């Protein structure tokens, strides 16, 4: 109980401290090394980013999460959970920081990691609730065309990643395009 209260207090403190600089991506965004380009990879929708600096209509942001020690080309929200934050062509884009955290999940070693790059400022928002509302209505729309939409908490975040694959799913079963925010909404509100 005490531990739970402390966690809640710590989360509140973090939310307070970070609120000035933490924004969320409104869709899947290109992530570039310089303001002129030099493509590093993509960051997903509804991903928290810290804005470090701005230039013109661009923001230089940091994303923080976890990566597989053996295959550090993607960053995820948590070790062993397929909530994807970023996917990088340039492996050097991902900076691992084992001192900040390491964890073994199902025999895979995960380490804390960050990536920094430029994105379009107009594609960032401080209103995460609005993104979730958007995901929720898309879910109601996009699935009910064919069958009743299973509720978000019907599956775990990892199960949603299988139901809505990045490629090669059944028609309608995709996380791509207009479904990107919806997919993150489903994972964020999934069964724990
Ligand atoms: C183009 C039609 C279509 C759309 C749109 C669609 N589905 Fe389906 N879905 C199907 C069919 C067909 C089945 C198989 C039905 C069956 O087995 O009875 C299915 C089955 C499922 C299943 C059962 C498990 C599985 O993978 O077979 C889940 C879960 C599911 N759909 C989720 C969704 C969600 C979430 C959406 C909205 C993003 C969605 N579907 C949109 C056609 C669709």
Buried b (16+ CB within 10 A) or exposed e, 123-158: bbeeeeeebbebbbebbeebbeeeeebeebeebebe
Average pLDDT for residues 136-163, to the nearest whole number?
A: 94
- Ligand 1 within 6 A of CB of 37: no
**Given a cut of 60, is residue 102 above it in pLDDT?**
yes
pLDDT-based confidence at residue 15 (cuts at 50, 70, 90): very low
Instruction: Check if 189 has its Cβ closer than 6 Å to any atom of ligand 1.
Output: no
Percent of the chain with pLDDT over 90: 79
Q: How far is the CA of 63 from the centre of ligand 1 (A)?
A: 32
Distance 59 CA to ligand 1 centre (A): 38
Q: Which long-range contacts (CB under 8 A, 24 or more apart) does 138-141 make?
A: 138/178, 138/179, 138/181, 138/182, 138/185, 139/182, 139/185, 139/186
The best mutation among 172, 180, 184 to test binding of ligand 1, ranked by most ligand atoms within 8 Å of the C-beta, falls on 172
Question: Residue 21 has what pLDDT?
Answer: 75
């Amino acid at each position: 109980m005490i531990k739970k209260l402390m966690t809640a207090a710590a989360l509140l403190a973090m939310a307070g401290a970070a609120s000035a600089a933490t924004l969320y991506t409104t869709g899947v965004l290109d992530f570039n090394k310089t303001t002129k380009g030099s493509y590093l990879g993509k960051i997903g929708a509804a991903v928290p980013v810290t804005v470090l600096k701005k230039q013109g209509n661009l923001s230089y942001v940091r994303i923080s999460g976890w990566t597989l020690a053996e295959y550090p080309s993607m960053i995820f929200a948590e070790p062993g959970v397929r909530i994807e934050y970023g996917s990088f062509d340039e492996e050097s884009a991902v900076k691992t920081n084992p001192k900040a955290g390491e964890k073994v999940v199902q025999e895979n070693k995960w380490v804390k990691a960050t990536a920094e790059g430029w994105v379009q400022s107009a594609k960032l928002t401080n209103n995460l609730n609005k993104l979730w509302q958007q995901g929720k209505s898309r879910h109601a729309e996009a699935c009910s065309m064919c069958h009743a939409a299973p509720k978000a908490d019907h599956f775990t975040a990892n199960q949603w990643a299988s139901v809505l694959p990045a490629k090669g799913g059944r028609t309608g079963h995709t996380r791509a395009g207009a479904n990107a925010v919806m997919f993150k909404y489903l994972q964020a509100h999934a069964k724990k």
